[in-house]
């Protein structure tokens, strides 16, 4: 690695030589989505990266207010089963089974600010070893049937909203995770992107969603519900943003999840401190506008990280409401274990501060088997139309699939 500030490629090249490696972008609360400029190639973003020969569970992190140790890693959606003993994971995972939690105390920690194109602007062509063909693991008739089942549950009052996800898989012996991530970051870098290596498993994440951040006694969550594509020009772009802002279905989805997050934060916060300073704000990202709400609170004195996690994880934007019942039903209708998808990647420091994303818009890769996986979902409400939800899922995933030189088979 160069003696001066390394490029992103140099960080990635060094990191994957080790069993465990995590690179985060836009973390530590330094990037405010309200000032994010998705098309500015000189835009600065934070990078935090490190590697290690060993990893630990979140429960083994040592907290010391007089220390400044930083841990980076991830938490699987399946950790829900530890928090609620009657929850299960019906589907067996094989190719993409990350641990329920894994954090590294880096042998060397690198932290800096980068222009978003640094170290990759000279690479104009990326070769992925042939066209990758992704195959849907849930086909449209089964998807429509499952969405109709969810709508019936909503009519019966079992749930109010449920996030239903599907999976696409591919074989790719020539996939290069570093090349792919560099292209993904250059063309569609989002403020909570991450690159994770856990032995033979990789997660290439282009998340724009913050699950939960703690700085001192301040908690912040920024759930996303509501998506629309960017326009081809300024006028069209503003019109589409306004359409999203005024869409009653998207606003209803966002408000329901924001209320759920308020309730989650209230369990670990001082009475009367939970606030929503920004409800249903619409913000631009490289390929889409997103509807984001911000929920803030002040933590109870002496509350521990594991207590905060148990009260808030998994994030409501990826489950539905009520959360526990939604997770039970998700396990019934989805054909795969979510694993790290719908979980979180981020950092925790020994003083108890942390910043965690929501693992969405991600490519999972098993280097040993050559398998790739992409997962995508949408929030089902009483007003959902199954065919439109199907189209929304394909629309969400299409940009990511194209970024890695792939296509959907059939």
Residues with Cβ within 8 Å of 119's Cβ and at least 6 positions away in sequence, in order, are 6, 7, 8, 9, 10, 182
Backbone angles phi, psi at 186, to 5 degrees: -65, -40
- Of the candidates 78, 161, 167, 209, the residue annotated as catalytic is 209
Query: Rounded CA gap, 230 and 345, in Å?
Result: 26
CA distances, 21 to each of 60, 171, 404 (Å): 18, 24, 21
Query: Rounded CA gap, 275 and 294, in Å?
Result: 8
- Whether 122 is catalytic is no
Query: Rounded CA gap, 379 and 393, in Å?
Result: 10
- Whether 209 is catalytic is yes
Place of tokens 């032995």: 199
Judge whether 75 and 343 are in contact, CB under 8 Å. Answer: yes
Q: Which SS3 state, helix, strand or coil, does residue 311 take?
A: helix
- Of the candidates 80, 186, 225, 371, the residue annotated as catalytic is 225
Residue 5, burial from CB neighbour count under 10 angstroms (0-12, 13-18, 19+): middle
Residues labelled as active-site residues: 209, 225
């Amino acid at each position: 690695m160069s003696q001066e500030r390394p490029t992103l490629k140099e960080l990635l090249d060094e990191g994957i030589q080790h069993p465990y490696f995590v690179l985060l972008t836009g973390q530590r609360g330094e990037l405010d989505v309200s000032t994010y400029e998705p098309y500015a190639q000189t835009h600065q973003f934070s990078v935090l990266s490190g590697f290690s020969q060993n990893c630990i569970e979140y429960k083994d992190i040592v907290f010391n207010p007089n220390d400044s140790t930083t841990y980076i890693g991830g938490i699987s959606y399946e950790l829900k089963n530890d928090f609620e003993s009657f929850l299960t994971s019906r589907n067996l995972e094989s190719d993409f089974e990350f641990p329920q939690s894994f954090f590294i105390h880096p042998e060397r920690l690198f932290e800096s600010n980068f222009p978003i194109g640094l170290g990759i602007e000279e690479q104009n062509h990326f070769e992925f070893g042939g066209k990758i063909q992704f195959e849907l693991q849930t086909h449209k008739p089964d998807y429509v049937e499952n969405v109709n089942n969810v709508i019936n549950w909503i009519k019966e009052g079992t749930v109010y909203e449920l996030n239903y996800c599907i999976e696409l898989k591919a074989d790719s012996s020539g996939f290069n995770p570093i090349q792919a991530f560099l292209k993904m970051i250059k063309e569609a870098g989002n403020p909570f992107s991450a690159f994770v290596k856990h032995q033979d498993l990789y997660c290439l994440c282009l998340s724009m969603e913050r699950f939960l951040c703690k700085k001192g006694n301040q908690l912040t969550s920024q759930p996303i519900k509501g998506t629309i594509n960017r326009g081809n020009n300024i006028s069209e772009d503003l019109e589409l943003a306004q359409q999203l802002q005024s869409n009653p279905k998207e606003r209803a989805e966002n408000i329901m999840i924001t209320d759920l997050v308020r309730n989650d934060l209230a369990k670990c916060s001082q009475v009367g401190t939970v606030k929503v300073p920004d409800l249903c704000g619409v913000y631009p990202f490289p390929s889409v506008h997103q509807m984001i709400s911000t929920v803030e609170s002040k933590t109870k004195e002496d509350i521990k990280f594991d207590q905060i996690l148990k009260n808030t994880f998994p994030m409501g934007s990826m489950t539905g409401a009520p959360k526990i019942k939604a997770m039970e039903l998700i396990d019934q209708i989805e054909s795969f274990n979510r694993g790290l998808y719908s979980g979180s990647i981020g950092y925790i420091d020994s003083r108890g501060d942390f910043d965690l994303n929501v693992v969405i818009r991600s490519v999972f890769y098993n280097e040993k088997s050559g398998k790739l996986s992409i997962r995508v979902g949408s929030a089902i409400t009483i007003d959902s139309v199954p065919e439109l939800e199907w189209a929304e899922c394909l629309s969400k995933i299409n940009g990511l699939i194209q970024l890695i030189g792939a296509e959907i088979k059939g």
